[in-house]
């Protein structure tokens, strides 16, 4: 997904960022005197686009459907009321998730710009939000690929006659606490799969102060993961668009195959019943509703900039309303399907070890790197299902990884394309540099800190300011007009109500709840020291600091009184009212 300017004299928000804003009348003049404009139905001259709408749908579905669908949603569902959790989940999906996804699609497709320059045109005062989304996406991709390296590590270790995480007779096992079966969550014993994860994969030390040595096998897996990412994105949409035909579709074959296999195992019924049985009293808990909203929000990938970036490569008249509904429904369906797959296997495991289901289930990576491998090792035809499962994880993660890396590439080419090409000569070298830097930053792999402070704290702040910038400052009327101009028909009043009232309020509620319920990051029973918490907050502020910086810079560069400067700063530069002279 590479960005290129059609002509050097075209107006760009990069110029707006560097030079600051002038009065709104001057902005309109700049827009109207651009030599090249893009009429409806025509994409930017020289700008690469998706070969077809199916590529765009597969790319966005692949980005939205990731590892969180496999380990986060099933855990939230069973811990927040089972089948009853689907009520707040679906309400949040329709009132917040789908409208915000459509909003990002509209901004990207109408402006044909990445998130930085698109949001700078939508609301100059909050242009820092766009840069913040680029930063958080790149920080996110540095540790997300670490998870991909874990999947590769397990994949390579699953081809033996017996899985290495099944036995306690290995050099990395702590024999006094190791159990070859699954002891459950209520004992001090650890399963062999847990010790494989802690002592073989992670080589866990006594604390974050003890960095330990370099895990060369994991180093090689991380390098391989980045090589795969580079080979899939270095040609932009022309290569990524072809890769997603496999990476976005193949996981569903594995999920259905695993579900069919798991349903024939003893105990599967009990596991599924535990997953779906509604506990209606849970609906009176505010935390359940907040969890539902956060799951919808994080799963669809709003505020990461990736959806805006991918939509910017669409044709001007692509039906984004249809695409937003398709992506949202497939994402929801995949989460529920993954829940059936995971909990049918957990029910089987509970049956094998004569334990209650709630003594086995866990949250986070442990569900797919500890519990499920242990379950796979007891299944018939382990040598078949284990490689398939970890390869599926790899495909699910790679799609999300493509999109987050592309956000950074799109911004660099948006802002510095001429300088980059003058220095590097080829765009493929830029992609290589971005991947190499991401590889180096991922070597420390403090994934718990990164996930806690980036994927929760930073994301919700960015999402809140993005919604305020677009829904209130830019205005629902303008969003509706953009969609009408692209599709030839007005957007449904349902979306307008969601944008104006429900989305801002729901995002604000999630943000406030995240702050109130904040707790320092910890790994199991280990609590990180104070300095590690400060490191986490610094990581979080790396993406948030651009919001006040951008606002201050915008107001400072404007002219007139403070109120006049402020008014100019919230005036959009997206030209909507003047008809295109090139349009038919």
Residue 579: what pLDDT? 47
Regarding pTM above 0.75, the answer is: yes
Residue 42: what pLDDT? 38
**Residue 278 to residues 80, 283, 511: CA-CA distances in angstroms?**
9, 10, 27
Tell me the two tokens of residue 249. Answer: 């579709």
Residue 427: what pLDDT? 81
Write the DSSP assignment of 384-429 as a string of letters: HHHHHHHHHHHHHHHHHHHHHHHHHHHHHHHHHHHHHHHHHSSHHH
Does the pLDDT value for residue 361 go beyond 70?
A: no
Residue 194: what pLDDT? 86
| Closest listed residue to residue 105, CA positions, set 329, 327, 394 | 327
Higher pLDDT, 61 or 362: 61
Q: What would the mean pLDDT of 108-114 be, rounded to a whole number?
A: 92
**Residue 52 to residues 41, 58, 98, 428: CA-CA distances in angstroms?**
14, 10, 22, 23
Question: What gap in Å lies between CA 145 and CA 442, rounded to an integer?
Answer: 8
Contacts by residues 278-286 (CB-CB < 8 Å, ≥ 24 positions apart)? 278/81, 278/82, 278/83, 278/84, 279/81, 279/82, 279/84, 280/81, 280/84, 281/81, 282/80, 282/81, 282/84, 282/85, 283/81, 283/84, 283/87, 283/88, 285/80, 286/513
Does the pLDDT value for residue 445 go beyond 80?
A: no
Q: What would the mean pLDDT of 563-567 be, rounded to a whole number?
A: 93
Tell me the two tokens of residue 519. Answer: 């707790």
Does the pLDDT value for residue 32 go beyond 50?
A: no
Q: How confident is the model at residue 510 (pLDDT cuts 50, 70, 90)?
A: confident
Does the pLDDT value for residue 520 go beyond 90?
A: no
Mean pLDDT of the chain: 83
Residue 219: what pLDDT? 94
Percent of the chain at pLDDT exceeding 70 = 88
Higher pLDDT, 489 or 18: 489
Contact 389, 254 (CB under 8 A): yes
**Residue 217 to residues 152, 153, 203, 314, 445: CA-CA distances in angstroms?**
10, 8, 11, 40, 14
Tell me the two tokens of residue 406. Answer: 């592309």
CA angle (227 as vertex; 222, 229 as ends), nearest 5: 95
Tell me the two tokens of residue 457. Answer: 């704290």
Neighbouring residues of 548: CB distance < 8 A, sequence distance ≥ 6? 128
Neighbouring residues of 312: CB distance < 8 A, sequence distance ≥ 6? 3, 108, 109, 111, 112, 113, 114, 118, 410
| Closest listed residue to residue 232, CA positions, set 244, 215, 248 | 244
Helix (H) or strand (E) holding 504: helix 503-516
Question: What gap in Å lies between CA 167 and CA 169, rounded to an integer?
Answer: 5
Chain-centroid distance of CA 405 in Å reads: 11
Does the pLDDT value for residue 467 go beyond 50?
A: yes
| Closest listed residue to residue 222, CA positions, set 139, 151, 158, 136 | 151
| Residue 527 phi, psi (nearest 5) | -105, 130
| Residue 279 phi, psi (nearest 5) | -115, 90
Q: How confident is the model at residue 362 (pLDDT cuts 50, 70, 90)?
A: low
* pLDDT tens-digit map of 71-90: 888 888 877 888 889 899 99
Does the pLDDT value for residue 348 go beyond 60?
A: yes
Q: What would the mean pLDDT of 372-396 be, rounded to a whole number?
A: 89
Total number of residues shown for the chain: 584
CA angle (533 as vertex; 531, 537 as ends), nearest 5: 115
Contact 410, 1 (CB under 8 A): yes
Count the Cβ atoms, other than its own, within 10 Å of residue 206: 8
Residue 578: what pLDDT? 43
Does the pLDDT value for residue 49 go beyond 60?
A: yes
DSSP helix/strand/coil, 203 = coil
Which stretches of 67-128 are assigned E, i.e. beta strand? none
Does the pLDDT value for residue 311 go beyond 50?
A: yes
Does the pLDDT value for residue 174 go beyond 50?
A: yes
Q: What would the mean pLDDT of 436-463 be, rounded to a whole number?
A: 82
Question: What gap in Å lies between CA 501 and CA 472, rounded to an integer?
Answer: 9
Higher pLDDT, 187 or 524: 524
Q: How confident is the model at residue 186 (pLDDT cuts 50, 70, 90)?
A: low
């Amino acid at each position: 997904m590479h960005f290129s300017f059609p002509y050097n004299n075209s107006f760009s928000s990069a110029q707006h960022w560097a030079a600051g804003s002038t009065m709104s009348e001057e902005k309109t003049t700049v827009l109207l005197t651009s030599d090249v404009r893009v009429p409806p139905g025509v994409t930017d001259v020289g700008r690469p686009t998706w070969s077809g709408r199916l590529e765009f749908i597969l790319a966005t579905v692949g980005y939205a459907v990731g590892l969180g669908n496999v380990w986060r949603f099933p855990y939230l569902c069973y811990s927040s009321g089972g089948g009853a959790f689907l009520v707040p989940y679906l309400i949040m999906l329709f009132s917040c998730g789908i409208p915000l996804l459509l909003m990002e699609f509209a901004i990207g497709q109408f402006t044909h710009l990445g998130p930085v320059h698109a949001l700078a045109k939508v609301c100059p005062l909050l242009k820092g939000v766009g840069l913040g989304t680029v930063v958080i996406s790149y920080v996110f991709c540095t540790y997300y690929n670490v998870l991909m390296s874990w999947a590769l590590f397990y994949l390579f270790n699953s081809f033996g006659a017996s899985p290495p995480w099944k036995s306690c007779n290995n050099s990395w096992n702590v024999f006094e606490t190791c159990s070859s079966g699954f002891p459950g969550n209520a004992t001090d014993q650890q399963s062999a799969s847990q010790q494989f994860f802690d002592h073989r994969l992670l080589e866990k030390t006594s604390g974050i102060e003890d960095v330990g040595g370099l895990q060369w096998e994991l180093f090689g897996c991380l390098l391989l993961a980045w090589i795969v990412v580079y080979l899939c994105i270095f040609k932009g949409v022309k290569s990524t668009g072809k890769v997603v035909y496999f990476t976005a579709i193949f996981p569903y074959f594995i999920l259905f195959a695993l579900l069919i296999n798991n349903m024939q195992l003893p105990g599967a019924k009990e596991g599924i019943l535990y997953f779906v049985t509604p506990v209606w009293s849970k609906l009176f808990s505010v935390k359940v509703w907040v969890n539902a909203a956060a799951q919808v929000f994080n799963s669809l990938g709003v505020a990461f900039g990736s959806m805006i970036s991918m939509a910017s490569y669409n044709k001007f008249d692509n039906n984004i309303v249809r695409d937003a509904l398709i992506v949202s429904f497939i994402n929801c369906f995949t989460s529920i399907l993954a829940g059936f797959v995971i909990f049918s296997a957990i029910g089987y495991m509970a049956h094998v070890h004569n334990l209650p289901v709630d003594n086995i289930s866990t949250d986070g990576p442990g569900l797919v790197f500890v519990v499920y491998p242990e379950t796979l090792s007891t299944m018939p035809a382990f040598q078949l299902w284990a490689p398939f499962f970890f390869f599926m994880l790899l495909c699910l993660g790679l799609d999300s990884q493509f999109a987050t890396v592309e956000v950074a590439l799109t911004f660099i080419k948006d802002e510095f394309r001429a300088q980059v090409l003058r220095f590097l000569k080829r765009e493929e070298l830029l992609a290589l540099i971005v991947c190499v830097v991401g590889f180096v930053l991922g070597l420390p792999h403090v994934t718990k800190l990164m996930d806690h402070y980036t994927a929760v704290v930073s994301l919700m702040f960015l999402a809140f300011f993005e919604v305020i910038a677009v829904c209130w400052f830019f205005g629902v009327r303008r969003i509706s007009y953009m969609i009408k101009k692209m599709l030839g028909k007005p957007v449904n009043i349902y979306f307008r109500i969601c944008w104006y009232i429900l989305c801002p309020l729901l995002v604000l509620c999630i943000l406030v709840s995240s702050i109130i319920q904040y707790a320092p990051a910890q790994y199991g029973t280990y609590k990180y020291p104070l300095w590690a918490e400060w490191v986490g907050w610094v990581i979080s502020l790396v993406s948030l600091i651009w919001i006040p910086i951008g606002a201050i810079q915008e107001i400072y560069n404007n002219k007139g009184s403070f109120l006049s400067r402020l008014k100019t700063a919230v005036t959009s530069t997206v030209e909507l009212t003047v008809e295109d002279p090139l349009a038919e």
